[in-house]
Structure formats: structure tokens, C-alpha cells
Chains A and B, each alone.
Chain A
Amino acid sequence: MRPTGNGAVKLTLTGVEAASNSLDGVFVSGQFSFPPGTVDAVVVDSKAVGNGTTGFNSFSTSGHAPTSVMLTNSVSIGHGLAGISASSSVAILRIGHSTVSGNEQTWTTSGNAVIETFGDNYVTGNRTAAPRFRRAPRGDNHSTHQTEKSLLRANVVRFAPESGQMADRLGRSASCHEQL
């Protein structure tokens, strides 16, 4: 999605599968749009599989429209560049209850872009060890705060930072680079 002008553009993807495309699976860009315009995407129950570059990409450039992607209960698998990506200081990608696996890199950021996690993702089996997600800040806004609190209560995983392992209540472990 690459809107122009300065309108508020909202995209909702539910149950969408973007697979085997040459470039990104889902590309959300505010690059050609200007404030007060905004570009906001919510992706739920969706899959990006085996696309050439990135599964889900939140992209903008400085001075252009703030761009956000909220990724929930979704999957990004097997991409040539990265599972998820965000570019520029006005772009953000938030991810919760999702899987990022089998990608060349877990994620990429550039230009002070932010990727935030709600701490309950499955991040494993990516070729390049990734830096840790930034945790979604408390009090970012009311809804984020409430969501994070509920996730924390429902969280069934523990994180052992020394080993880079994540284990569930039953003691099963899996490799994980996510900071909880």
C-alpha cells in the first residue's frame, strides 16, 4: 500500500495469505503521503510465506506520513531478506502472538524505525541471529497498556536470557531471541 496525499488511510487484513511474491508479502508505505496524513495497517490471522524480500514491512521516510503496522496472530515464514521490517523514524511495526521463522533475518530496521513486541511471539529458526525486540512500552496509550497487561497475565513463557532459551509451563524449551 502506497497512498499519496495527506488523508488518513487504514488497512485491515484478516485471513490474508501473501505467498511467493517477488518482493514483500505486505508492504505498507507512507513514503508518498504527508502529515497530517497517516497510514495504519492492522494484520490479523494472516500469513506471509516465501516472499522474495520481507514478510511484513512498515515503511516511510522522515517528514512523510507516520506509518504503523500492527501484526497479531500471524505468521511470517521463509523470506529472503527478513520476516518483518520497519524503516524510518516515523514507521513502526508492532507484533504480538505471531510467528517469525525460517527467514534470512528475523527482522530489519533502518532510520531509527521501531519494532515492538508484546512478548508472546514465537521467534525461531531464522538464519541470522537477530537483536532483541524492543518491548512495547507501558502507558504508550490506554489500549496498548491494557493489552500488554492482559498479555502479561496470560503469558505462559519464561525467558532465560543466559541461554537464549524460552520455556513454557511444562518446561519445554525452544530457541528464542525475544526479550520478554
Chain B
Amino acid sequence: MTRITPSLFLAALLGFSFHVASAQAQYVRTCVSANGNDANTCHCTQPCRTFQRAHDQTLSDGEVTVLDPGAYGPLTITKSISIVNDGVGEASIQVSGGGTGIIVNAPNGGGYVNLRGITIQGVGFGGGTGLTFNTGFTLTMTNCVVRNHTGNGIELLPNATSHIAISNTLATDNGG
């Protein structure tokens, strides 16, 4: 018969509380900063360093806000989300090694993705693709720059009913 020792009980309790804490650590609004750290919660008082970490820490239908200029890394989007750089300087994603800057794999029928003020820049070393939209209901892309990729700049490959709106955006010097 297994005995539950106090230490085992405490470990289980701690594990459970950590699990709850991580679930609660998602926010409606998160932030990224060039001075941020991905060990942070991404709450805007503790910004993260990368878009991916901020995305993962953001609730569906939430938003990621860029606090200052910087390169914030490639990103795979799997939920409804807005990523907003409202004029604080260049918020870039540098793409190399055949990678893709932003991949949108949001839910069909209910995934709403908004991108504003993002630069997706191919930087050599194998190049890649700027943005690939695979799934999602809507994509709006405003005030973005997608340039210097060896593949397509903006690659829209929806497999279900989708509405895509791109405005005030530059796609230039791409291979596709």
C-alpha cells in the first residue's frame, strides 16, 4: 500500500498550484519589448522578448502590444489575436534559413487575426517566406512591410471560407 507522505502531498499540491498558475498567466493583453525577457509573464508590466512567447501568454481574442523597436522573432499564430505596433518604431521579424516569419494556423470559422505595423524581413542565410496564412476566418494586415524573402512575401493558402484584408502594406523584393 502506497503511503502518502507529507512531502509527496506537498509536491502534488505545489504541482497543482503551478498548473493553475500557468493557466491563469494568460492575459487579454500582453506586451513585448526589446528589453523584455521570455521568462517574464508578458503582462505589460513584465514584457516578454518574443512574439511567440507573448502569443502563447495571450488569451484568445487578446492582443499583443509592441512597446518599443526591436526584432521579435518568428511566430506561429494558433488563435484569434491582434499584434499591434502602433508607431513605436520598427517591430521586425527577421527570417532566414528557409523559415517563415509568421504562420497563421488559427481556427477555421472562428479565428480572427490582426497584424499592424510589423516588418517581416528576409535577412539571407537561406531566406524563406514572409507570411503564410493556412487557416483562420479573417486576417487583416495593416501598415506592414514584407520584403527580401527568397520565397513568397505573403502566401495566402486558406482551406476554408476566409476573408483577408491587406492595406497600406508593402511587399517587395521577394522571390515568389
Flag if A22 contacts B175 (CB, 8 Å).
yes
B138-176 CB mask vs A (1 if < 8 Å, else 0) is 000000000000000101111111111111111111111
A62 on the B face (CB < 8 A): no
Chain B residues, CB < 8 A from A144:
none
Q: Quick one: which of A76-116 are within 8 Å of B by CB?
A: none
Chain A residue at minimum C-beta to C-beta distance from B164: A11
Flag if A21 contacts B166 (CB, 8 Å).
no
Give the total of A residues in contact with B, Cβ under 8 Å.
23
Q: Which one of A2-10, A66-74, A155-163, A164-172 is at the B interface?
A: A2-10
- Interface residue range, chain B: 20 to 34
Kindly identify which residue among A4, A13, A19, A23 contacts B166, using a CB–CB cutoff of 8 Å.
Answer: A13
Whole-angstrom CA separation of A21 from B165 in the bound complex: 20
Chain B residue at minimum C-beta to C-beta distance from A41: B164
Flag if B164 contacts A19 (CB, 8 Å).
no
Chain A residues, CB < 8 A from B174:
21-22
Flag if A15 contacts B159 (CB, 8 Å).
no
B38 to chain A, nearest CB (A): 33
Chain B positions near chain A (C-beta within 8 angstroms) = 153, 155-176
Query: Closest 6 interchain pairs by CB?
Result: A7-B161, A1-B156, A14-B167, A7-B160, A5-B159, A19-B172
Chain A positions near chain B (C-beta within 8 angstroms) = 1-5, 7-23, 25
